[in-house]
Amino acid sequence: MNNMELFEAIGEIDSDLITRCENEVVHAPKQTWVRRLSVAACLCLVMLCIFTLPIFKQAPNTPITPGNNSSQPTTPNNALLYINQLKQEPSFQNSVISLNVNDFIAMTDDEFLKYYGISFSINRAVPAFELQLLNPANNNGIFRNSSRGTYYDSHTFVFANAVNTQRLEITLSKTAYYPGLIIGTDESTTQLKQSELGGFAVTIFQYAGKDGSTCFYTEFLNNGIAYCITSYNLSQKDYTAALSSVIADNVNTEANKSGAKNAHMVTGTVNAVDENANLISISVGDGAFSTLRVYLPDGEAKRYSVGDQVEVSYVGNPITICTIWERQLKSINTVNG
């Protein structure tokens, strides 16, 4: 459903307001998924009321080339680089939630940087890129109240060259609403390879956009912040430079070893089992990113029940945010008997 269809489906919105809101949303060229949450916020502010739309996901449609899907690694500047090729443009999560105009707190890019506690020096890595100024009419900000706390804070920083033919979009969130890559159940065993940039493991995907543009995509979680980083018409070299810059500016790899070969162990409580997908999810704490999904070998999910305490050992960082793919899994054991 596109934005105009969404407005019409809800109904009772003046056509002038619809046109105004449509014109105010900033889109990447033929790549609109990263702005859909902002559209929801804009719509809420236009209506000046509370409403609820369902949280949904697109159906997975992202075949990943098996076996030789990764390019040969290179090692510039302490980097181990693999590019995982997708056969077609992937699907991403879409979330639309209740937003109350009275909870809205407007923010500038600088205020968002302070809110997240991060910094960027993208133009040092890719000199042609500049941070694109926000359109004040887009109502950029967070939603917070006393009962729910901060319940929506996703924001996209856009970097582009002077003629807007090359773009880098970095979407951040401290809440669970981020445009993460969707994994098909038949893809969880794919032998993807992780890159290591500055001592930090990431999984880099490459695909062709709808307009034929070359796109790179990476997502990871660091210090309670979800990062989703997408480029359009950027070379592999420049994307890697930009991604390395983000990691160098914001990830402390000395305090927390997170390389592609580093082993990690986590203990949690099983809260869901999906035998068809060979998937369990476990609660590993509190907060927005407290559920870890773990893909298991065929037939293994039936060994577990909701309430089981399990110990999971895996290698590298989760390939997608809060998701351990089967290839990363070293062991999983029940610890409550």
In one letter, which amino acid is 247?
Answer: I
- 107 in Cβ contact with 152 (< 8 Å): no
Q: Which is more confident, 310 or 6? A: 310
SS3 315: strand
In whole angstroms, give the CA distance from residue 282 to residue 271.
5
- 142 in Cβ contact with 134 (< 8 Å): no
253-297 pLDDT, tens per residue? 887 788 889 999 999 999 999 999 899 999 998 777 889 999 999
The mean pLDDT of 300-329, rounded to a whole number, is 94
Dihedral class, residue 325 (left if φ above 0, else alpha if ψ from -120 to 50, else beta): beta
Quickly tell me which residue has 């089967």 as its tokens. Answer: 326
Pairing relationship of beta strands 205-208 and 84-85 according to DSSP bridges: parallel
Q: Greatest CA span in the chain, whole angstroms?
A: 63
Quickly tell me which residue has 């159940």 as its tokens. Answer: 185
- Residues whose CB is less than 8 angstroms from the CB of residue 221 and which lie 6 or more positions away in sequence, other chains included: 227, 289, 317, 318, 321, 322
In one letter, which amino acid is 55?
Answer: I
Quickly tell me which residue has 């880099």 as its tokens. Answer: 204
Quickly tell me which residue has 């990263």 as its tokens. Answer: 34
Distances (CA, A) of 4 to 25, 55, 87, 209: 12, 18, 30, 22
Count CA within 13 A, CB hemisphere, residue 30: 13
Of the ranges 131-140, 184-193, 300-309, the best mean pLDDT one: 300-309
- In the chain the first and final C-alpha atoms are separated, in Å, by 48
Domains delineated in the chain: 62-93+104-250 (no CATH), 263-334 (2.40.50)
- Beta-bridged to residue 272, according to DSSP, are 281
Residue-level pLDDT at 236:
97
The mean pLDDT of 76-102, rounded to a whole number, is 80
* pLDDT higher than 50, residue 6: no
199-255 pLDDT, tens per residue? 999 999 999 998 889 999 999 999 999 999 999 999 999 999 999 999 999 999 887
Read off the pLDDT band of 77 (50, 70, 90): low
Distances (CA, A) of 174 to 70, 250, 302: 31, 15, 33
Residue-level pLDDT at 10:
41
In whole angstroms, give the CA distance from residue 337 to residue 101.
50
The pTM of this model reads 0.76
In whole angstroms, give the CA distance from residue 60 to residue 174.
25
In one letter, which amino acid is 86?
Answer: L
Q: Which is more confident, 11 or 67? A: 11
Which H, E and C letters describe 107-171, residue by residue?
Answer: CCHHHHHHHHCCCCCHHHHCCCCEECCCCHHHCCEEEEECCCEEEECCEEEEEECCCCCCEEEEE
Share of the chain above pLDDT 90, in %: 55
150-205 pLDDT, tens per residue? 999 999 999 999 999 999 999 999 987 777 787 665 555 567 889 999 999 999 99
In whole angstroms, give the CA distance from residue 166 to residue 135.
19
Which H, E and C letters describe 134-146, residue by residue?
Answer: CCHHHCCEEEEEC
